[in-house]
Structure 1
Amino acid sequence: MRQYNFNEILEILNKQIENIEFNEKPQSLFEPISYILALGGKRVRPALALMAYNLYKDNLAEVQPIAAAIEIFHNFTLLHDDLMDRADMRRGKDAVHIKWNDNAAILSGDEMLIEAYKELAKTRKDVLSPVLDLFSKTATEVCCGQQYDMEFEKRMDVTVDEYLEMIRLKTAVLLGCALKEGAMIAGASDQDADALYDFGINIGLAFQLKDDLLDVYGDPATFGKKIGGDILCNKKTYLFINALQDEESYKKLTPWLEKTDFAEAEKIKAVTEIYNQLNLKEKSEKLIQEYYKKGVSSLNKVSVGEEQKAELYKFAENLMFRNS
């Protein structure tokens, strides 16, 4: 059996996504879809579906509909997230609602969800039902996570546990779904499929915590989004929630939450200084490390050879040291 490395899988995925054509009319509905898909991104989620499948089989064409569905669905959520967050940039380019308008982001996003299910329907018929069930359950969970995220913006009493549950739903479950569905298509045992799902959940939690960290401490040249965007939106991230739990910091943060007229750079600097005083960067990095270890522990339980799992181990490790 041929074992593909991560770069080879990305090359296969990029060609697959590039070959997705939308020839229906009106083109104005489909142009934003082609635009967001062409921006690329890390393609982590569809890659995980192929990598999980490749633990058992090497006929990647069999799992590619799942990969396409997951990538289209993920990008659909980004269109709507950027609109709700009023984020200007996505992967270093104008967000869809900026390049077109709000209505285009909503309607083209809706169509992307439909396109994701059309790709999913190409799955082999004997596994389509469980694959569809897991995908739909995951899609609902992602929406629940986004709803919690929006509600947290208006609350000052969000706990760390609530936040972690929110990012589990909004981010981690889609990684778990990608891995489990890849394994299901390959005919893996239920135990292996569940262990891969747990690997995805823990790595997904680490992934989002890292993303939140990079939003404050990342390099704008590599991150692809404006640094400090979460601070400007008053997002209740792990850093922000911990800062609110400190009485002195709470007093310093509250005025910034209430201000509507402020210099963006000044707010970002003031909030970042509070994080620095509380050593929250280090605290966040420690939690990321804990989830990484839990993820590796789950991957250890998958009953294939260590050599076959090497790329997934490497993926998890690279996640820990990424800067974008």
Structure 2
Amino acid sequence: MQNFEALSKQFTEQFNKDHFPKEPSSLYEPNDYFLSLGGKRIRPVMVLMGNELFDNITEDAWNVATAVELFHNFTLVHDDIMDKAPLRRGMQTVHEKFGESTALLAGDVMLVVAYDYLNKVSPNYLRRIIHLFNQTAREVCEGQQLDMDFEKKESVDFASYEKMISLKTSVLLAASLKMGAILGGALERNQNLIYEFGRKLGLAFQVQDDYLDAFGDAAKFGKQIGGDIKANKKTFLLIHALETTSPSQKEKLKHLLKTDESSKVEKVLAIFKDCGVDDWAEQLKEQYLAEALKHLDDVAVLSIRKEPLKELASFLIQRQH
């Protein structure tokens, strides 16, 4: 059994090749540029880990992993356009460097090439893999739309936000593991357990991300603290504060969200601490993580085969940057 680091290195070596034709260069160079920016490659490596949980890694798993990474990058190119983001991983985004129209087309063709890799999967598994891939792609789009819808709403309840995060972030992690498991010959119960492990891990990861944005160490986190607060983003923390704080604090919080005063972050964090949002978020993260690990424990394979996934869960949730 290989750990995440070893598999990530192998995947990166395989992935760093030409996925696109040379011409027209105005269409394909933007994608080569974007993929060269790198990334953690968590999702494609989860395909490989899901596969190796049940059997030796197959050629099909490498092709699905590549498709997943191309799909993920396609979503990032389009997300950057929607968010009007100037930078991605410290470099110019595709739409900033090459123009919005080209970025749209480049993203589209990246998705098409992802399907080229899926179509290499052996006929025994192809229908199930395509079905799960398509379902997941649709759900990611639903999650992104809900996220945009929430920006226009004054308040969002916890259940709605959890559903949005599950769709936007967690289902791709979950499906990556499940597609690997399908290719490894896992029975349906095991497929569903590993899917739920990935989904709950994704939720824990998002709680931690929200927490670090508010309470993290800027030097370790690698970005400015309070970015979500400045942008009035709905987060697990803000939603819980609005649901649990006193009426007067709630009004104060709502007022702060409508301002751009220099002490906004400081004042919002003070309200968060007053109603114990920091401790609550830590507990929620641990709850999601415990639920994820319970699903992994219930998978019917030898415990030693699960160790790399347990290590990955620990790494993702304990990170401070």
Tell me if TM exceeds 0.5: yes
SS at match of 1:309: helix
Counterpart of 1:253?
Answer: 253
Residue 299 of structure 1 deviates from its aligned partner by 0.5
Contiguous gaps of at least 5 residues in structure 1: none
Equivalent position to 2:312, from 315, 320, 324? 315
Q: For 1:148-159, what aligned pairs fall within 5 Å after superposition? A: 148-159=146-157
User: Across the two proteins, how many residue pairs are aligned to each other?
Assistant: 319
SS at match of 1:254: helix
Residue 65 of structure 1 deviates from its aligned partner by 0.9
Cα distance in 2 between the residues matched to 1:267 and 1:29: 43
Cα distance in 1 between the residues matched to 2:133 and 2:263: 42
| 1:155 partner letter | K
RMSD across aligned C-alpha pairs, in angstroms? Answer: 2.0
Is 1:243–1:278's contact at 8 Å kept on the other side of the alignment?
yes
Cα distance in 2 between the residues matched to 1:147 and 1:187: 34
Please say which of residues 222-231 and 93-102 is displaced more in the overlay: 222-231
Equivalent position to 1:303, from 288, 300, 303? 300
Cα distance in 2 between the residues matched to 1:99 and 1:26: 17
Residue 200 of structure 1 deviates from its aligned partner by 0.7
SS at match of 1:63: helix
Is 1:90–1:224's contact at 8 Å kept on the other side of the alignment?
no
Equivalent position to 2:277, from 255, 277, 280? 280
Q: For 1:75-224, what aligned pairs fall within 5 Å after superposition? A: 75-221=73-219, 223=221
**Structure 1 residues 14, 221: CA separation in 2 closer, same or farther (over 3 Å shift)?**
farther
Please say which of residues 21-30 and 287-296 is displaced more in the overlay: 21-30
Residue 56 of structure 1 deviates from its aligned partner by 2.3
Is 2:56–2:184's contact at 8 Å kept on the other side of the alignment?
no
Is 1:91–1:224's contact at 8 Å kept on the other side of the alignment?
no
Cα distance in 1 between the residues matched to 2:279 and 2:263: 23
**1:294 lines up with 2:291 in the alignment:** yes
Equivalent position to 1:63, from 58, 61, 82? 61
Q: For 1:23-38, what aligned pairs fall within 5 Å after superposition? A: 23-38=21-36
Please say which of residues 95-104 and 309-318 is displaced more in the overlay: 95-104
| 2:252 partner letter | K
**Structure 1 residues 218, 301: CA separation in 2 closer, same or farther (over 3 Å shift)?**
same
**Structure 1 residues 243, 28: CA separation in 2 closer, same or farther (over 3 Å shift)?**
farther
**Structure 1 residues 251, 86: CA separation in 2 closer, same or farther (over 3 Å shift)?**
farther
Q: Displaced runs of 4+ in structure 1, greater than 6 A? A: none
Cα distance in 2 between the residues matched to 1:322 and 1:278: 25
Cα distance in 2 between the residues matched to 1:115 and 1:222: 36
SS at match of 2:55: coil
Residue 196 of structure 1 deviates from its aligned partner by 0.5
Contiguous gaps of at least 5 residues in structure 2: none
Residue 60 of structure 1 deviates from its aligned partner by 4.0
Cα distance in 2 between the residues matched to 1:130 and 1:295: 24
| 2:182 partner letter | M
Please say which of residues 102-111 and 145-154 is displaced more in the overlay: 102-111
Cα distance in 2 between the residues matched to 1:219 and 1:38: 29
| 1:238 partner letter | F
TM-score, normalised to structure 1, is: 0.91
Residue 221 of structure 1 deviates from its aligned partner by 5.0
CA shift digits 1:9-68 (9 cap, x unpaired): 001111122114322422222223222222222211111110011122223433011111
Is 2:60–2:120's contact at 8 Å kept on the other side of the alignment?
no
| 2:21 partner letter | N
SS at match of 1:308: helix
